[in-house]
């Protein structure tokens, strides 16, 4: 991977953490092992990047890990020799990180099968994309490197794959549909959050359609053209209709279930057979029961 720097005076490790899928700790190890070079030379994590610096990242870095297989009930919607489609419950982290190395989907996948791609390293076997811990629904997993590489291109080029989410937003949205085109980057006031910002951001486009209106809520469908971190959650908050029960982007108190956001539908071209694939996952019981209660309130 070759990255041309477009900013100035930012620590190398911080810049890469903001612009790659690698964690800051992994980046530091890669720098120490010469897997990352700046203008052909080894640099320290504290090196301040300059505009037009060329950062070369060599594939194949293997990080020592204590990740162990853990038996868990995984809701597998579909499986063949190349891919697995999973219906992830709310509350389950996709891959290890931030001190959680035992209770993630990856731990469960490692117990379930030895056939997972290793393109993303030992901490993310099979993981082509992810959804937030408290977002439920469909997730695509690669069982070999060939399918992983093709699926990665799908996501990168925004082609041959379409994902549709269902969200319950707070307030009565006044239109039938909307296109939200607002760039997303790290929140300059809180690095743990994302925000619509012009600084160090990337294009983010969400297509929204109203499914049903309630007294104080609106059920909507969201289709992603891009796939930025927390994209739907950030965009809904940005337009003034945050997702119900979102503990980060909604100012109201939230329960442990987290945001009412569900990866409902996925259509894509199979990476190997090239067949058209279509999957849907029902809303989680908590989500369904809550909107059912809203229906009763309106009777």
Backbone angles phi, psi at 164, to 5 degrees: -120, 130
**Stated pTM of the model:** 0.78
- pLDDT band at residue 57 under the 50/70/90 scheme: very high
Higher pLDDT, 71 or 26: 71
Taking only the tens place, the pLDDT of each residue in 269-278 is 999 999 999 9
Q: What burial letters (b/e) apply to 257-272, b meaning 16+ CB within 10 Å?
A: bbbbbbbbbbebbbbe
CA angle 240, 243, 248 (to 5 degrees): 95
Active-site residues, by number, are 132
Average pLDDT, stretch 51-78? 86
Q: Quick check: 21 pLDDT over 80?
A: no
Question: Which tokens belong to 30?
Answer: 């890669």
What Rg do the C-alpha atoms of the chain give, in angstroms?
A: 20
Give yes or no for residue 18 having a pLDDT over 70. yes
């Amino acid at each position: 991977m070759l990255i041309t720097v477009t900013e100035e005076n930012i620590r190398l490790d911080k810049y890469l953490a903001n612009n790659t899928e690698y964690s800051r700790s992994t980046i530091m190890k890669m720098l120490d092992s010469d897997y990352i070079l700046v203008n052909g030379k080894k640099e320290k994590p504290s090196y301040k990047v300059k505009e037009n610096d060329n950062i070369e990242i060599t594939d194949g870095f293997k990080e020592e890990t204590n990740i162990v297989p853990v038996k868990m009930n995984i809701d597998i919607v579909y499986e063949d020799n190349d891919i697995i489609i999973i219906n992830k419950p709310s509350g389950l982290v996709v891959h290890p990180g931030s001190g959680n190395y035992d209770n993630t989907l990856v731990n469960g996948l490692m117990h379930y099968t030895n056939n997972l791609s290793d393109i993303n390293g030992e901490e993310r076997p099979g993981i082509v994309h992810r959804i937030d811990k408290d977002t439920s629904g469909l997730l695509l997993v690669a069982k070999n490197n060939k399918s992983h590489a093709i699926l990665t291109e799908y996501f990168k080029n925004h082609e041959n794959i379409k994902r549709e989410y269902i969200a319950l937003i707070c307030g009565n949205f006044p239109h039938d549909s909307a296109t939200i085109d607002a760039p997303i980057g790290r929140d300059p006031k809180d690095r743990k959050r994302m925000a619509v910002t012009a600084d160090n951001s990337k294009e983010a486009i969400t297509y929204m359609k109203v499914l049903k209106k309630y007294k104080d809520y609106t059920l909507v469908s969201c289709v992603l053209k891009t796939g930025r971190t927390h994209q739907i959650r950030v965009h809904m908050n940005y337009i003034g209709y945050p997702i119900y029960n979102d503990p980060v982007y909604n100012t109201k108190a939230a329960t442990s279930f987290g945001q009412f956001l569900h990866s409902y539908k996925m259509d894509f071209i199979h990476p190997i057979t090239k067949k058209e694939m279509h999957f849907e996952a029902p809303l989680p019981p908590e989500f369904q029961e809550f909107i059912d209660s809203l229906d009763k309130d309106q009777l």
